[in-house]
Amino acid sequence: MEIRNIAIIAHVDHGKTTLTDKMLAFCGEVLDGASMDSNALEQERGITIYAKNTAVMYKGTKINIVDTPGHADFGSEVERVLRSIDSVLLIVDAQEGPMPQTRFVLKKSLELGLKPIVVINKIDKPGSNCQQTHDGVFELFLELGANDEQLDFTTVYAIGRDGVAMKNETDERKDLAPLFETILEKVPVAQNDTTKPFRMQAFNLAYDNFLGRLAVGRVYEGIAKVGDTVFVKSEGKPDRTAKIIKLFSFHGMKRDEVSEAVAGDIVMIAGIADIFIGETITVTKDAELLPAITIDEPTIVLDFLVNNSPFAGREGKFVTSRQIRERLEKELEVNVGLKVDFTPNPNRVAEGFTVFGRGEMHIAVLLETMRREGYEVQVSQPQVIIKDIDGVKSEPFEEVTIDAPAEFQGVIIEKLGMRGFIMGDMNLKNNTVRMVFTGPTRGLLGYRNQFLVDTKGEGIMSSRVIGFKPYAGEITRRNVGSMISMESGKALAFALWGLQDRGTLYIGPQTEVYEGMVIGNTSKGEEMTVNPTKGKQLTNMRASGSDEAVNVIPAWTMSIERGLEVMVDDEFLEITPQSVRLRKQHLTETDRSRARRK
């Protein structure tokens, strides 16, 4: 049986997962309505977070497909997948054209010598322009240094949602057969040398409550059988031995148990309890290591602390530092973009650990997953990682691409200018302006919500890290202050009605508050201590003006991502299974004054 291995790569929201789901349905592997995005968070957010494997049979050929994330913060998922496949389907939106993530994933593919098949998707959109998109992709290939063979790419046109693909834009729109024919024609057959000893490399990890940690990887050479003793090898570590307990092959949305794994296939192995990504699994002690998998380094850092607020322990099942530590250690096994420093730090306000991540969303997804599992934590404000490179203080920089209605371009340029960003390119098309900026990651922290407000939800912003550059100096990130509760108790509508003119409230009536909790922001920019529990003075006197109706504007609900964006450096974000609260690190006014003097 011939095997072809492909990955599907694209910018976020260009239709990767939808197309993969339709490919499975076309080959009769799943019922319509089932999706590769099986994780609850993925379904809610409409994005892919974890790379996933599937396989279909088409005309007697097994096609292994890996669906990868499109968001920059999950780039480490894409990088390691590309090592194990022979070609990529690069999906590009016919209206938006190549976007920052298209560039990121394509660059990685071209560096590995892969020859992509370009799929121009969503060609039924009213603003689609296939020729312009094709030209834009060609220019991107040139810019990223593609060789002549890679520049001679094949293009397929598709409407992923309808499950149709065409070799030419004007062909009949029938089904996905033209896409599968192109894959069989253009993707090289996976090398299947079964004469050499077995050798594979783990590019992903899975977990099973009965079998423990599972290694997902491509078999490069030989055959592995259940019961074989294998050597696990990695750079700088002594070799370890293990036994293959079970082998699984991918088939549609499920995995099939098999007795052997052959070269060229992508399989899952059970039995190696301490396997890590990038390690080589082989049956001979002196086999060569497969090339190491390198991953882009983290760009932001923050503290994960034990929750010590007055409401600590009310909702969470796991609240101690030992439980948080064990959860982070488990996360490190499968989340390659994450790093954790477990060293105790006497300067911390509470017990905790320093966590390094790829971006705000990367951290927010981890925190959201933890709270759903019953964990209670509080985190400090995310900070960018500052490095010393050849004696120069350096920080991560990002390239930001924005598509927005032309009327909002002034406010976008002004806000990003204050945050240290410089515009490099600007194009106007049908009253939509595309602007490209570069600037420090620090300036982007906390900007996304502001951007949504400034563009009335009509703007699209995407970014990619372009590396470390010299420190950009002071920037203005926030022009609002914090509104802090001076009392503990239940917030009353009367008190909130009096406070809502001073800024934006994060809580509604009857919300429980404690002293030092941040209940809103102040539009003037200075900190303000207030009493949200104050009731109305009741007397026997009546007057026409004193009985106005109390109308409280709905609160600006605090979510993890919003909290990470609006918090300042002397605040913590308290995250429990049911609540997200913002609080001052020092709860009383006296303690805050003392900390400021220090």
| Inter-residue contact 73 to 50 (CB < 8 Å) | no
Residue 409 one-letter amino acid: Q
| Class level of CATH domain 199-282 | mainly beta
Task: Say if CB 427 and CB 474 are below 8 A apart.
Answer: no
Checking if the pLDDT of 145 tops 90, the result is: no
What is the tens place of the pLDDT at every residue in 435-462?
999 999 888 887 887 888 888 888 888 7
What is the pLDDT, as a whole number, of residue 48? 45
DSSP 3-state of 37: coil
Per-residue pLDDT, 410: 92
At 545-590, the pLDDT tens digits run 656 677 888 888 888 888 888 888 889 999 999 999 999 999 999 9
| DSSP assigned state of 194 | -
pLDDT computed for residue 42 by the predictor? 45
pLDDT of residue 413: 92
Per-residue pLDDT, 112: 83
For the chain, how big is the Rg over CA atoms in Å?
A: 27
Query: How confident is the model over 27-57, as pLDDT tens digits?
Result: 876 655 444 444 555 455 555 444 567 888 8
* CATH number assigned to the domain covering 481-597: 2.40.50.250
pLDDT band at 72 (very low <50, low <70, confident <90, very high): low
* Interacting residues of 12 by C-beta distance below 8 A, sequence separation 6+: 47, 69, 70, 71, 101, 462
Q: Would you state the pLDDT for residue 464?
A: 77
- Dist CA 155 CA 166 (whole Å): 9
Structure-model confidence comparison of residues 514 and 201, the more confident one: 514
Can you give the pLDDT at residue 69?
65
Name the most confidently modeled range: 81-85, 187-191, 498-502. Answer: 498-502
Over residues 353-377, the pLDDT tens digits come to 999 988 888 888 899 889 999 999 9
Q: What average pLDDT does the structure give for the chain?
A: 84
Structure pTM?
A: 0.78
Chain segment 482-494, per-residue pLDDT in tens: 899 999 999 999 8
CB count within 10 Å of CB 111 equals 12
The per-residue pLDDT for 545 is: 60
Q: CA 237, CA 279: separation in Å to the nearest integer?
A: 10
Query: Distance between CA atoms of 217 and 585, rounded to whole angstroms?
Result: 45
* 478: pLDDT strictly greater than 80: no
Please write the tens of the pLDDT for every residue from 250-281: 877 777 888 888 888 888 888 888 888 788 88
Contact 556, 567 (CB under 8 A): no
Residues paired with residue 462 on neighbouring β-strands, in sequence order: 401
pLDDT for 198: 87
Domain-wise residue ranges, the chain: 3-186, 199-282, 387-470, 481-597
Residue 298 — very low, low, confident or very high, per pLDDT cuts 50/70/90? Answer: confident
Task: Tell me which CATH homologous superfamily contains domain 3-186.
Answer: P-loop containing nucleotide triphosphate hydrolases (3.40.50.300)
Q: Hey, do 199-282 and 387-470 end up sharing a CATH topology, with the first three levels equal? A: no
What is the pLDDT at residue 43? 52
Looking at 274-341, list the stretches that DSSP marks H as alpha helix, in order from N- to C-terminal side.
321-334
pLDDT at res. 22: 86
CATH of segment(s) 387-470: 3.30.70.240
* CA pair distance 192, 263, nearest whole angstrom: 5
